[in-house]
Amino acid sequence: MINGRSDVFALTGISLNWMKQNNESAPVDVTESFVAEINGVPQVGAGGTVFRQGDEELRDAYNEELAKITSDKDKYLSIVGEFGFTENELPDPELTTESLCEGVS
């Protein structure tokens, strides 16, 4: 981009905003985020954490602690805010693993 090898590229909004804020001399423009749709169905981007089969106790403990963080906006932002996350990145509490795996959002 700066050296003329690229005109455009896609990253997460968090990454692009960080790049713009930390490279003020770089000609970086960040567009508004959007949710892609396929056949009229919004495609939610979601990360995940994996556990070995048989580690249900660890998975359940992890999910319990994660729920404590993501259900409290202030706690969430106190942990991830310094990395560029905002209230907009808080996971939708109605979104479930099952619905993501089924392609339903």
* pLDDT tens digit sequence for 45-84: 777 889 999 999 999 999 999 999 999 999 999 998 888 8
Q: Are 92 and 42 in contact (CB under 8 A)?
A: no
Domain tally, the chain: 2
Task: Tell whether 1 is covered by a domain.
Answer: yes
Full residue range of the structural domain in which residue 81 is found: 47-102
For 42, the 3-state DSSP assignment is: strand
d(CA 86, CA 26): 23
* C-beta atoms surrounding 14 within 10 Å: 16
Cut 0.85: pTM above it: no
Q: Are residues 61 and 92 in the same domain?
A: yes
Task: Tell whether 39 is covered by a domain.
Answer: no
> Phi/psi at 81 (nearest 5 deg)?
-60, -40
- The whole-number average pLDDT for the span 14-34 is 81
d(CA 14, CA 83): 8
Task: Tell whether 41 is covered by a domain.
Answer: no
d(CA 17, CA 7): 17
Task: Tell whether 87 is covered by a domain.
Answer: yes
